Structure formats: structure tokens, C-alpha cells
Amino acid sequence: MTGVEQAAQAEQRVQPVDERVGSLVAGRYLVERLIGRGGMATVYEAADQQLPRRVALKIFKPELADGDDMRRHEAEVALLASLNHPGLVTLYDASTTEDGGAVLILELVQGDDLRQTMDDRPLPGEEVAVIGAAVADALSYSHDRGIVHRDVKPGNILVPAHDGTDTAPRAKLADFGIARLVDETRVTATGAVLGTAHYLSPEQAVGGEVGAASDMYSLGLVLLEALTGERTFPGTGVESAAARLARDPFLPPDMSPEWNGLIRALTAREPGDRPTAREAAERLRSIASIPAFRPVDESLDATRVLPALATAATEVMNADEPTAAMSRPGAGDATRAPDRAAGIPSDRRSRIDARIEVLKTRPIAVAVTILAAIALVLVGYGASTAIASLVFADAPPAEPAYPAVEGVLGEHLEQLQRSVAP
């Protein structure tokens, strides 16, 4: 068996098998392959036998919708078929199958839906903004005509394949107005839900009135999931629906302020606090070039060690030189004195040397001079004490405290102290 034959067999095994493949629907559309199955309908790719085009057939389950429903909602079908916007999957026609089931003939979009795209990876902020703006534009167009989608979710947002050079829309919103064509009473009786639990608005979760603001809440959850790669309200349908009634969506702390503000506004619990689709589209286009999350500079360490700065009192020694032992200071230490005096000017150094010589040759005169200076200080101190005793007669005179001095000088100081004592 050749490699080509093996590949063909592998493709046949992967391709889903359906009894409608190869059959003619509504006498006009030849079913070629199964695209996917949902809770309400099955979607096929088919070839139009009257016009040279390929279409998508959405065939509803008989218990949810039949040919009578299509005829009863003929006005709604005509309204949906009249919608013409690049961000919407075009509805060509509505018909019935041979067994009486309801079928919609839709534009065929080549590419994946947003669910398949997000399963691979979180999307860059620019790509999310471009896709979100296209969806918001489509919602704005339909809201202006009184049509609410009610089931905005990744699986209903188609991302057409493109090569980067074409001008085709980056996203198309599918299944618009299905709620207008399906009997809601019968849907509830069969346990189906018009709207996916993970993307329901709070008013949808409690069965309240649903308007255009409900679509905006769902779009906010879709954008947040596309940015983070995580579903905002996980869990079972009941858990997910109840969670949004108890808390707001969690936004990553590193999300940029522009994206944070938009997602917060779209997912406000009160419908009146949410922006319109037109406002959301404008904001998404304005932040398309802004990163969704603040970049982290991985080249920076968490803690940087700064180098120590050398001061004037610090001398960097050569590591190769041995450490010299310091000599003990003494009278014969002739090596350090020149170092200390190296910075003194020569004239000042000569005056200092002269004064030192006087101290050596005339010790008695120097001692007498010192004693005279001390005596003047003591006499001045005694006089101030006497004056203070006159001013503050009631206070006992304080005993002056003199420093202790030993030797002959100390004896002279004691005599002076007694002579000035009151």
C-alpha cells in the first residue's frame, strides 16, 4: 500500500460519518461532509446544485424546530436574511428537510471557530482586539435593527483563513437570531438552553429580560478568555451560571489599564453600566496596538547588588603585596611623623617647631603662664557665683566642681580654690 493510500484511509477514519452525507437536502443542496454537531442542530457543508457556490446547512433537531416553525416565523427569517454585514454569517434561505425538519442555508466560512483557535494558545492582544472589534461591529449593526444574538460564545465566532494580504473580515458572528426562529417553550421542555452557560449574562442566568447589553457581557467573557487562555467561570453549567451572580470576573494584575477598564465595563453586573456595541468596537480599535499585559524585563534581577564605592579614607591595596606589620609608636619612631606632617605648609610647620622648642627650654615660665590662666578662670567663676547668690538669696550656693589635678600644679589649684571660696 502506497503512502498516498495510507493517508487517504487515515483521513477517512478521522472524518465523521453521517447518514446525510451524499444526500440531497431540500431538493437542491448536496451534502458533502459533516462540519459539526451541537445541542440544537447539526451543520454540514453542501454544494448548491442551482448556483455555483458552496453553503453550510444547519439542520435542527426535530424536537426543537420543524418546517411549521420556519413557516410561522417567516417574517423573522426574512429579517435575518436581509442582514448584510461583513461581520455576520449571511443567511441565504430557510427550508425543510424531506422528513419535515427545519434547515437554514448559510454562508460557508472556510476557517476555524474561535474555540478551536483558543484551544491552541492564548491569543496576542492585538489579534483579540481585531477579532473583538469585528464582532462588536456586527453586534452594533444587528442591535440597531432590534436583533439580539443571545449566544455570543467562541464557538459562534468564526475566524476566516487569510494570508495577511486580503481585506476579508477577521471574524464573523454566526447563529444570529436563532432564538427568533426556535420555539423557546419547546427548547426549555427538552432541556436545551438558548445560550451557553459559561458565557451567559447575569440577567440570562436568572431568567430576566435579555437585551443588547446581554450580548456585551458575553463578549467581555469571550475576550477575557482569549487573552488569558482560561475560562472565566469554569465548572458545571449550574456552577458557572451561579458564579457570575456572586462575583465579578478575575482579571490578571499585570493586565494593561486599557484592557482592564474595557473588560471591567463589559462585564459589569448591571446592564445599564455596560458600553454599547459601537462604543466597545471603538475602544477595541483604539487599543489594538497596546499589549494586553505589561511586559516583564527578564534581564533584570529581582535584587541587584551594587558595587561598594571607595572613600577617600579607604586605600585599595594590591592583592599581590604582603601585609606589613605595623610598628609600635614610640619616641624613636621616626617614620610616621613625617607622614603626619606631610600635608602641613612649611611656614606653619616652622612656627610649630619653634613653640615646641620654647616648651622644652622654659618649662617654669610655661607652667606659671598656665597657672595664671587657670586662676583667671577660677576668679571669674567665683565672681559669677557670688552674683548669682545675691540674685537668688534663698537658694543655697552650689558647690563648684573642679577637675582633679595631681602634683605641684594641683596644690596651687587647691590654694586658689580656698582663697575664692565664700
The angle formed by the CA atoms of residues 166, 48 and 36, to the nearest 5 degrees, is 75
For the stretch 322-334, pLDDT in tens is 555 554 544 444 4
Q: Is the per-residue pLDDT at 393 higher than 70?
A: no
Domains and CATH numbers, the chain: 23-107 (3.30.200.20), 111-184+193-289 (1.10.510.10)
Residue 149 has pLDDT above 60, yes or no: yes
pLDDT confidence of residue 265: 98
Please report how many Cα atoms fall inside a 13 Å half-sphere around the Cα of residue 4, on the Cβ side: 0
Winning range, highest mean pLDDT, from 245-254, 324-333, 361-370: 245-254
Active-site residue, 353 included: no
Q: How far apart are CA 200 and CA 208, in angstroms?
A: 11
| 262 or 189: which leads in pLDDT | 262
303 pLDDT band, cuts 50/70/90, is very low
- Range from 37-41, 64-68, 121-125 carrying the lowest mean pLDDT: 64-68
Which residue of the set 137, 151, 175, 215 is catalytic? 151
Over the chain, what is the mean pLDDT?
A: 76
DSSP 394-410: TSPPPPP------HHHH
Residue 24 has which C-alpha cell? Answer: 440531497
Q: Which CA distances in Å does 132 have to 129, 197, 273?
A: 5, 20, 19
Q: Which grid cell sits at 337? A: 611623623
Q: Cell numbers at residue 292, please?
A: 494586553
CA 99 to chain centre: 54
pLDDT mean over 221-250: 88
Answer yes or no: is 58 a known binding residue. Answer: yes
66 band by pLDDT with thresholds 50, 70 and 90: low
Q: Please list the alpha-helical segments (H only) found in 194-236.
A: 202-205, 212-228
Its pTM stands at 0.63
Q: Say if residue 189's pLDDT is above 50.
A: no
